Amino acid sequence: MSVPPRSLVPRLSALLLAGAWLATDAAAQDAGGGAVVAADTGAAVAAVPTYYGAVQDALRRNCAGCHRPNAPDLGGMTAPMSLMTYQDARRYASRIADVVNSGYMPPWGADAQHVGVFKDERYLSDEDEQALVAWAEGGAPMGDPAEAPAAADRPLAVAEPVEAPDGSMWWMGVPDLVVGFKEPIVVCEAVEDWQPQVRLHVPDGALTEPKWIRGMEIRPGSNIVHHTVSSHLGVGVPGRGPFVFPKGWGILLTEDPFITISMHYHKETGPGTEVVDDTKGGFAFYEDGEVIDYVVETDIQAFTDFTIPAGHPNYEVRNQTHFEEDIYLLSMGPHAHFRGKAVKIELERPDRPFRETLLWVPDYDFNWQFQYELEEPYLIPAGSTMHVTWWYDNSADNPFNPDPTVDVSYGPATTDEMMNARIYYAKAEPRGIVVGQDIPEDILTISRQGEERARRVASEWEVDSPACPVPGVASR
């Protein structure tokens, strides 16, 4: 199977330069003075969508999650501006059109065939895209506030953070357990891009027995955190909220967990750019007496036996996982590095003659990593096989390729590659476990074995920044 050519739209660079681009756009429009409505005939202007007539509603529905005052820094980097007023939006009108036309915004990897399948999806309808572009190209007219749909006047339906006793802010509520680095990480002046994998420590005495997790959240400790991927806390990307299980679903955290997090730092270099990061993770637990029917497990579905030839533009690697029992699938999170190009996750069921596409990401972007959470748990019958196919671009045409002249194999460094597709799932048979009572031995055994596996592979981590004299980061 061939994959469409990789988009050449600048992605991470576009995000990092968005503030500068948009500021330049704003300055250019402000320099003209007054409103930016085009000087034209009344009939021509009337044909252009106005802010109050169409654009305000489109921005609120598609952009408000990030582009609003006091936006959440759930993935570290926050949106560089608010677009929630006409004065805000008109200043950036031409840049809004640029990023919408290019497909860079809103950021979302899943193909349009999955509309309505995943929570917090970020699809822009053709109607909204046409309205935003036509508005910008037509001079960004304001229109009459009376034109605004009734929904545009309602408060944004977004959660607000809760303050913990120590002053920290959390979107899922005050956590029952907070984990963190042994000491804050120094990202020194010479570092531009760095992806260390680091251990998150449980405070002494804070966890003396296994606990059932009902939710988890990553709280970035600096504004240079682009995204995070954690063994126990899930994925953190800009605009992504905490991961909260459906009622009655939970994952067991043992009394001695080995919690890790892959950090992706990106910043400017030079004097005065050093940053100290102190990212934290929070867990919310079920209370005694509540019932866990579905015990959540995770499988990274890693395949390690492959080598991508130097210069190859479309190298294909496949892996599969077979299910002996009925399970409910909760979410999927494909992961590769800079040469990752596209990924497809398919399901071969015993009761159907064809493969069902569970997830198709035609233009994978290392800089926007998502855990695609299903709106409803999906029943996968016993005897099914999940097929994962990755395509990689190791050619010079890949603008993110660190070195197209070398063969690349699976490895922990970001200059290596990975072929993962983490899933969260639960066996379909309800367990009826009462929180606070004895935990079934099979569940304890599986959880503890997983922690030991994590300890064994810790020696393979990318431990040091090549530009920072900070030894032994992974030991923190």
The verdict on 82 and 126 lying in the same domain is: yes
**Tens-digit pLDDT profile for the chain (476 aa)?**
555 444 333 343 344 334 433 444 544 444 333 334 444 444 444 479 999 999 999 998 888 877 887 665 544 556 778 888 999 999 999 999 999 998 889 889 999 999 999 988 889 999 999 999 999 999 999 998 887 776 555 555 556 778 889 888 888 899 999 999 999 999 999 888 888 889 999 999 999 999 999 999 998 888 888 778 888 998 776 656 788 999 999 999 999 999 999 888 888 899 999 999 999 999 999 999 999 999 999 898 999 999 999 999 999 999 999 999 999 999 999 989 999 999 999 999 999 999 999 999 999 988 787 889 999 999 999 999 999 999 999 999 999 999 999 999 998 777 899 999 999 999 999 999 999 999 999 999 989 998 888 887 765 554 444 445 544 343 33
Q: Rounded to whole angstroms, how far apart are CA atoms 475 and 4?
A: 41
The verdict on 302 and 393 lying in the same domain is: yes
* Residue 242 located in a structural domain: yes
Backbone angles phi, psi at 72, to 5 degrees: -70, 145
Q: Pick the last residue of a domain from 115, 134, 153.
A: 153
The verdict on 31 and 148 lying in the same domain is: yes
The verdict on 96 and 37 lying in the same domain is: yes
Give the structural domain span for 57. 12-153
Indicate which CATH number applies to the domain containing 380: 2.60.120.230
The verdict on 239 and 380 lying in the same domain is: yes
Q: If you count them, how many residues does the chain have?
A: 476
The verdict on 267 and 335 lying in the same domain is: yes
**pTM of the complete model:** 0.80
